[in-house]
Every structure is written in C-alpha cells, then in structure tokens.
Structure 1
Amino acid sequence: MSAVMQASIQMELSEPARALLLPDMTAPTAVRALVDAGQVQDALKLLARLLPKRYAVAWLCQVARDQTLDPEDKAGASLAEKWVREPNESNRRAAFEYANAGGYKSAGAWLAAAAGWSGGSLAPAAQATPVPPADHLTACAVVAGINMLAALVIEKFDARRIGFIEPAMSLLNTGADAASGA
C-alpha cells in the first residue's frame, strides 16, 4: 500500500477526500488535489502525516513564528523549537510534560504536544514500563496546532489554513526521500 493511502487511513480522512486519492499519487500531488477540491482539513491531516515528524513539527513552529502569541503559546512553541533543533529525549519529555500540564487547551500546548508525541514514552517519567505513542500522533497534534493558530483570526480561518499549507509543500518535497516516521 502506498504511503499516501496508508496515511489517509491512519489519519481517518473523510470518504470524499479518500475518493480523490489514487494509489499512485505522489504525496505533493495528493495534498494539492485535496486542497484544490476544498478538502482543507483532510489536506492538513495528510500533509502532517506524510512529513517526517521533525519536519512536521518544524512546519508548525514556522507557522507559529508568524503569529502574535500569548506567553503560554510562546512557551509551548519554544519547547517545540528546542526539540526540532535538538531532538533528544530530554527535550521531547519537556515538551510532553508542558502539553500534558496545559491540558491540551491552547495552541502552545499543541505545539509542545507535536514534539512530545514524537517518540519516547507517554507514561509518567517515573514509570518503568514505557508507553510509546502511536506513530501518527505527532501529525494529529500538528493538525490541532495549525487549526488553533488559524483560528487566531477566525474570520480568515479557511484562508489561513490554506496559506499555512504552502510553506509545508516544499518540506514535503524535501522530505520525500526521508522515512515518514523519521
């Protein structure tokens, strides 16, 4: 099964969106087809899943840098950025703990969750038995963060989401040779 088709199932794309996808589509072609058909939420989901995890979090951070954020959102963005620069367990854990403490209620919490759900364990740090996150959770957090950032200007929500997709298309092309789980 192609990466596009597998990602469409993992991210639970809508039936109308999945009907637009062909098994031999490249990732950029598939995302563009969804955007052109007005299936923006599904395009975001597919794009976030097809990007390597670090690229997906970097994209979300790039979008956040262009927004006016409150201190809580800036803190989450800072933790996600730190993980993108140095994707080690300490930075991942710090982002995860921040998102968890924030109850996933802010854009900053979702920014941090995108990095925090990239690997490692979702169990408390003191727990010996690891609980690895599902492979697609980073993409889910990225989509939530993108939607929250788009909603900062609610009257332009749809246009903003489409605009946020454009910078990631170059990342998708750059990351085409990288494993989607990297």
Structure 2
Amino acid sequence: MHPIHDAAVRMALTPAALSALAPTSSARAAVSNLLEHQLADDALKLQAHLLQPGYAVAWVCGRARRHILDASDQQGLALAEAWLRDPLDTHRQQALDFAVSHRCATIGAWLAATAAWSAEDATRVQAAHAVVATLTRLAAIAPEGFVPARDACIRDALGLLDTVAPSP
C-alpha cells in the first residue's frame, strides 16, 4: 500500500478524502489537494500522521503559544516542550501522567499526550489523534473563528511536510 494512502486509512479519513487522494510522491501535495477539495478536517488528520513526531509536537506547541492559556494548559504545554527539548523517558512519562490525570479533557492534557505518545512508534496513530484534538481545540478558541484558524494552522505547517521522505 502507498504510504500516504496507508496513513489516510489509519487516520480514518472520509471516503471523499480517500477518493480525492491522487497517487503522489509528495505528502505536501496530498494535504494541499485535500484542502483544495474543501476537506480540511481530513487534511489535518493526514498532516498530523505524516509529520515526523518531533515536528508534530513543535507544531502544536507553537500554535498553543499563540493563545492565552490557563495555568493547567500552560503546564501541559511546558511538559510537551520539555520532551521536545530533551526526549527522555522521564519527560515522556511526566507528560503521559499529566494527560491521564486530566483525562485528555483540556488543551494542556492533549498537548502533553501529543508529546507522550510521539515518543514511541506503537502509539504514532494516537499521537496524530492528539495533534488533531489539540489543534481543533485551539481553533475553537481562536478569535478569528474555528474554520479560518484551523485552515491557517494547516497551511502554516505545509512546509513541515517537506521533511517527509518521498513515497516510492
């Protein structure tokens, strides 16, 4: 199976998104194509899965820093950034403990979960879903409104997809 299509299936993209994905060797082209077809939710899911874990964590942390967060969300952000700076298992475990104790119910908990689950290949799909959950919640509190904030978020990170190895 083609790696981009495999990622699309793993992230449960809609049938419309699956049919809109043309055979391509570029992750960036695939996500851009979904945006052009007005399938931004699917584009976000695919982008979250295709990015290297460190880039995905940096992406959500950067987006979170643009918002006024409460103390708990700031703590989750700090834990994600600690793992990003130094991906030790102790930082991963602290992030995971925070996410679990907050039942992945807040932006900060999702930020921490993104870092915790990005540390292992076995939880890559979970990490991608955490990226989507974090960015969706951030878009929901954006002053410009959900759709413009979500779409800007996707477009801002398109260049990060250039780090994804071309598909065979």
Give the TM-score, by structure 1 length.
0.86
- Which consecutive unaligned segments of at least 5 residues does structure 2 have? none
Give the Å deviation of 1:49. 0.3
Give the share of equivalent positions with the same residue, in percent: 39
Shift, 1:77, TM fit? 0.7
- 1:1-182 alignment to 2 at 5 Å? 1-119=1-119, 133-153=122-142, 156-173=145-162, 175-177=163-165
1:59/1:167 contact within 8 Å kept: no
Displacement, 1:134? 3.2
SS, match of residue 22 in structure 1? coil
CA distance in 2, matches of 1:138, 1:11: 11
Structure with the higher fraction of residues in helix conformation = 2
> Cα 1:154–1:10, aligned 2, differ >3 Å: closer, same or farther?
farther
Pairs aligned (count): 166
Give the distance between the partners of 1:13 and 1:72, measured in 2 at CA.
31
> Which structure has the higher relative contact order (CA within 8 Å, separation 6+)?
2
Partner amino acid, structure 1, of 2:87: P
Q: Deviations over 1:120-178 (max 9, x none)?
A: 5xxxxxxxxxxx843311101000000000011377101100011122111111x2239
Deviations 1:107-126 (A, max 9, x none): 11000000111235xxxxxx
| SS at 1:46 equivalent | helix
Unaligned runs of 5+ in 1: 121-131
**Aligned partner of 2:86: which letter?**
E
**Rounded Cα–Cα distance in structure 1 between residues aligned with 2:161 and 2:70:** 29
